[in-house]
Structure 1
Amino acid sequence: MVTKRAKRKGARVVSAVSGSDGGQGMLIGERRQHVLKLVEKNGRVLVSELSSSLGISPITIRKDLDYLELQGQVQRTHGGALAPHKTTMLDPSLKDKEAHQTREKQLIAAAAAAMVQEGQCVLLDSGTTTTAIARELRRFKRLTIVTNALNIAAELIDTDFDVILVGGNLRKNAFSLVGPLAEDALRQIHADILFLGVDGFDVKSGIMTPSLLEARVNRVMAAASRKVVAVCDSTKFDRQSLALIIPPSAVQVVITDKNIAGAHVEALRSAGIEVVLVG
Structure 2
Amino acid sequence: MLPLERQKKMLDLLTVREVLKINELTEELDISIDTLRRDINLLTRQGKIEKIYGGIKLAGRFGESSMEERMINHLEEKEQIARKCCEFIEDGDCIYIDSGSTTYQIAKYMKHRKKLTVITSSIPVIQELVHSEVDLIIIGGKIRKEEQSVVAYDYIFNFHELNIRKAFICCSGITMERGISDYNMEEAITRKKMIELASEVYVAADSTKFGKDVMVSIAPLERIDTIVTDANVDRSYQAKFKKTDTKLVIAEA
What is the TM-score when the length of structure 2 is the normalising length?
0.79
1:170 to partner: Cα distance:
1.0
What is the DSSP-based 3-state SS (H/G/I as helix, E as strand, rest coil) of the residue aligned with 2:158? helix
- The offset of 1:41, in angstroms, is 5.7
- Which consecutive unaligned segments of at least 5 residues does structure 2 have? 50-58
Q: Which amino acid aligns with 1:240?
A: D
Alignment match, 2:9 = 33
Please tell me the residue identity of whatever aligns with 1:276: V
The change in CA–CA distance for 1:256 and 1:151 in structure 2 (over 3 A counts) is: same
- One-letter amino acid of the structure 1 residue matched with residue 118 of structure 2: I
Say which one has the larger Rg. 1
Query: Could you tell me how far 1:107 is from its partner in structure 2?
Result: 0.4
Name the SS of the counterpart of 1:217 in structure 2. Answer: helix
Q: 2:209 aligns with which of 236, 245, 249?
A: 236
- Find the aligned partners of 1:147 and 1:122 in 2 and give their Cα distance: 9
Using a 3 Å threshold, how does the CA distance of structure 1 residues 27 and 167 change in structure 2: closer, same or farther? closer
Amino acid at match of 2:106: I
Partner of 2:47: 82
Q: Using the aligned pairs only, state the percent identity.
A: 22
Question: Offset of 1:190 from its aligned partner?
Answer: 1.7
Aligned counterparts, 1:58-73, within 5 A: none
Higher helix share: 1
Shift of residue 141 of structure 1? 2.7
2:86 maps to 113
Structure 1: gaps spanning 5 or more residues: 1-23
Alignment-derived partner of residue 132 in structure 1: 105
For 2:100 and 2:70, the matched residues in 1 are separated by 8
Contact 2:111 2:133 in 1 (8 A): no
Do 2:141 and 2:157's aligned partners in 1 also have CA atoms closer than 8 Å? Answer: no
State the one-letter code of the partner of 2:95.
Answer: V
Paired residues, what number? 233
Q: Aligned partners of 1:219, 1:28: CA distance in 2, in Å?
A: 41
Aligned to 1:253: 226
Q: What is the Cα deviation at residue 34 of structure 1?
A: 2.8
- Matched to 1:251, the amino acid is I
Q: Which one-letter code corresponds to 1:203 in the other structure?
A: M
| Offset at residue 30 of structure 1 (A) | 5.7
1:94 aligned to 2:67?
yes
Pick closer, same or farther for the CA change 1:183–1:211 going to 2, 3 Å. Answer: farther
Give the one of 31, 40, 44 matched to 1:54: 31
Deviation at 1:245, TM superposition (A): 0.8
| Aligned with residue 270 of structure 1, among 228, 243, 246 | 243
Shift of 1:181: 4.4
